[in-house]
Amino acid sequence: MPELSRRQLVSGAALAAGAVVLRPTLAAAGPGPTGGAGTVTADVVVVGAGLAGLTAARTLTAAGRSVVVLEARDRVGGRTLNHPLPGGHVADLGGTWIGPTQNAVAALAAELGLATFEQVDVGQAVYYRDGVRTTYPSGGATGGAPPDPTILPDLLAVITLVDEMSKSVPVGAPWTASNAEEWDSQTFDTWLREHTVSPQTRKVASAAFNALFGGEGREISLLYALWYVACAGDEQNPGTFERLIDVQGGAQERRFVDGAQSLSLRMAGALGGRVHLSAPVRKVTQTANGVQVASERLSVTASHAILAVPPTLAARIEFDPPLPTSRDHYTQRSPQGRLIKVEAIYARPFWREAGLSGAVVSDTGPGKICYDVTPADGSLGGLLAFVGGDEARRWGDDHEALKTAVVAQFVTFFGPQAASPSEVVVQDWSDEVWSRGAPVHLLGPGALTQDREAIWAPVGRLHWAGTETATFWHGYMDGAITSGRRAAAEVLGS
């Protein structure tokens, strides 16, 4: 990873302040699209300017193809979002961390000259159980899990079993696992109840689930959970549950100095006028010779389309001719999780002075998993609470009450200084009409075994991208990037 430099800090401040302006005009450089006002022609039209769509567009442009990107929002980055903080810093309100085996996102960051820094994982973490606060070493022998003797035997057994079972789930075709049908016929919660003794284990597992999936164990199939674990690795390193939840050696190991949205801002900056903002796509028509993609801003005629949007949003577009039944049924079974981030900003990371790492595992909400999200230079402090699943449903209609409740939790966890944040930000991803939930889709029983390849199989000239179509690091920024490359390769190879 490149080192943090003064120059990059300054460029981060510029990005955070929205200094990169994407004009909805066509690019002059390179083989650009052609056509009159309101309708243009290109080799490929990409729907969605998140990491997947922008990576696809970048790959195709590098291969000499003309590309138009249509993005519904007035910004790029989708489920990554920089919130400006004083001093040119940013808070990540969406995707945040990267870690080992996430090779694509690390390589892209290096190419784009984006610096990362280590997530703080020293000092004491807080465990809040039945109204009692205790502490334990962050990054200790139990990783992120609290060393509660009433749950450790259960946790050890369950994690060992999940890691073992996930090894038999092929990352590229989970429905071919020898136990696929049995595992896809039950929820993760059903299985967990059968394999745990202590109700407290299930509460801690639920806290982790809320943050990981924006859901509860009853909302996903056991097969999907095992596949998700199998995907938390690369060709050389099988996925493990520990890599999903750990900081050191896990998916929460590093953050972007300029915020994760800077990946998309930089890619879009280079694509220039090929990216059209505020252009929600409403209709996709396939003919024998090509595709026509109609947005509210302009229409594009192209030989192929890449739809780099979550399945539930793809389902809201009209397709002519209609999509095959298997694809339509798959999108009907692919709801997004429900996840809210609450971030409190302080004059300094005062909890570090008390030897606390900022990490929390709590069996009561609204925030059950918390992290220190202080900017790289530590010049101000940030605490994050994940509010997911049932807690998000409970608090999602009253964000002011949620702010108050989370700050009260921070006081319990970190002391009275937590009562006076300079700012509290609530980002509820289900309220975003162009996300309708996060961080990833929740596949319940049947979805993976019944609809199978519909998850990513092209439909004629339509190709699917987005982290929900990824194999390794499905649900993560890394998966979004590899999905964009895979979709671009499909187009180039067709």
Ligand X SMILES: Cc1cc2nc3c(=O)[nH]c(=O)nc-3n(C[C@H](O)[C@H](O)[C@H](O)COP(=O)(O)OP(=O)(O)OC[C@H]3O[C@@H](n4cnc5c(N)ncnc54)[C@H](O)[C@@H]3O)c2cc1C
Residues 82 to 141 in contact with ligand X, rule: CB under 6 A: 94-97
Residues 305 to 364 in contact with ligand X, rule: CB under 6 A: 308-310, 313, 317, 339, 341
* Cβ neighbours for 310, distance < 8 A, ≥ 6 positions apart: 334, 336, 435, 436, 441, 466, 468
Is 73 a residue that touches ligand X (CB under 6 A)? Answer: yes
Is 65 a residue that touches ligand X (CB under 6 A)? Answer: no
The backbone torsions φ and ψ at residue 319, rounded to the nearest 5 degrees and listed phi first, read: -115, 135
Smallest gap, in angstroms, from Cβ of residue 427 to ligand X? 7
Per CB under 6 A, the segment of 56-64, 67-75, 145-153, 375-383 that binds ligand X is: 67-75
* Of residues 16 and 72, the one with the C-beta less far from ligand X: 72
Is 80 a residue that touches ligand X (CB under 6 A)? Answer: yes
Is 281 a residue that touches ligand X (CB under 6 A)? Answer: yes
Binding mask 409-448 for ligand X (x = CB under 6 A): --------------------x----xx--xx---------
Q: Which helix (H) or strand (E) holds 224?
A: helix 222-230
If phi over 0 gives left and psi between -120 and 50 gives alpha, with beta otherwise, what is residue 362? beta
Instruction: Indicate which single residue of 275, 466, 486, 488 sits in contact with ligand X (rule: CB under 6 A).
Output: 466
Smallest gap, in angstroms, from Cβ of residue 97 to ligand X? 4
* Of residues 259 and 349, the one with the C-beta less far from ligand X: 259
Q: Is 408 helix (H, G, I), strand (E, B) or coil?
A: helix
* Of residues 200 and 301, the one with the C-beta less far from ligand X: 301
* Of residues 73 and 83, the one with the C-beta less far from ligand X: 73
Is 162 a residue that touches ligand X (CB under 6 A)? Answer: no
Instruction: Give the chain's radius of gyration (CA, Å).
Output: 22
Handedness of CA 347, 348, 353, 354 (dihedral sign): positive
* Cβ neighbours for 398, distance < 8 A, ≥ 6 positions apart: none
Smallest gap, in angstroms, from Cβ of residue 465 to ligand X? 7
Smallest gap, in angstroms, from Cβ of residue 231 to ligand X? 12
* Of residues 187 and 435, the one with the C-beta less far from ligand X: 435
Instruction: Indicate which single residue of 120, 158, 376, 477 sits in contact with ligand X (rule: CB under 6 A).
Output: 477
Long-range contacts of 186-191 (CB under 8 A, 24+ apart): 186/221, 186/222, 186/445, 187/217, 187/218, 187/219, 187/220, 187/221, 187/222, 187/444, 187/445, 188/217, 188/218, 188/220, 188/221, 188/222, 188/224, 188/225, 189/216, 189/217, 189/218, 190/218, 190/222, 191/222
Q: Is 41 helix (H, G, I), strand (E, B) or coil?
A: strand
Is 225 a residue that touches ligand X (CB under 6 A)? Answer: no
Report the candidate in 346, 392, 333, 336 with the shortest Cα–Cα distance to residue 372. Answer: 346
Residue 131 carries which side chain, given as an amino acid letter? G
Per CB under 6 A, the segment of 83-91, 228-236, 405-413, 477-485 that binds ligand X is: 477-485
Per CB under 6 A, the segment of 20-28, 45-53, 140-148, 297-305 that binds ligand X is: 45-53
Smallest gap, in angstroms, from Cβ of residue 250 to ligand X? 11
Q: Kindly state the number of chain residues that form the binding site for ligand X, as judged by CB under 6 A.
A: 39
Instruction: Indicate which single residue of 51, 155, 204, 223 sits in contact with ligand X (rule: CB under 6 A).
Output: 51
* Of residues 114 and 339, the one with the C-beta less far from ligand X: 339
Per CB under 6 A, the segment of 48-56, 142-150, 324-332, 410-418 that binds ligand X is: 48-56
The three state secondary structure string of 347-393 is CCCHHHHCCEEEEEEECCCCCCEEEECCCCCCCCEEEEEEEECHHHH
d(CA 310, CA 319): 16
Is 263 a residue that touches ligand X (CB under 6 A)? Answer: no
Residue 195 carries which side chain, given as an amino acid letter? H
Smallest gap, in angstroms, from Cβ of residue 425 to ligand X? 12
Buried b (16+ CB within 10 A) or exposed e, 47-83: bbbbbbbbbbbbbbbeeebbbbbbbbbebbbbbbbbb
Smallest gap, in angstroms, from Cβ of residue 365 to ligand X? 16
Residues of this chain that bind ligand X (CB under 6 A):
47-53, 70-73, 78-80, 94-97, 280-281, 308-310, 313, 317, 339, 341, 429, 434-435, 438-439, 466-467, 475-478, 480
